[in-house]
Amino acid sequence: MDFDLTKAQVISTFLYAFIGLILYVVAFWLICKISPFSIRKEIEIDQNTSLGIIIGSVMIGLSIIISAVIR
């Protein structure tokens, strides 16, 4: 199997990956700012497993949405 990648394809791949990561970080920051409690404290100190599962599920959903938009 021979892959013929051009310079533009490689650059666009890195650009879309960078845009996706920026959107992901902004979305996580918004979730932390909107929540009425400290997510870090609840997960790390209070060992709130259910909150960790919910935040993880939200992040997976955001990743799917971001990848669909980029695609």
**pTM summary value:** 0.68
11, containing H or E segment: helix 7-34
- Over residues 10-57, the pLDDT tens digits come to 898 889 889 888 988 898 899 889 989 888 899 899 999 999 999 899
- Give, to the nearest 10 degrees, the angle between helix 49-70 and helix 7-34: 140
pLDDT value of residue 33: 92
Handedness of CA 64, 66, 69, 71 (dihedral sign): negative
3-state class (DSSP) for residue 24: helix
Radius of gyration (C-alpha) of the chain in whole angstroms: 17
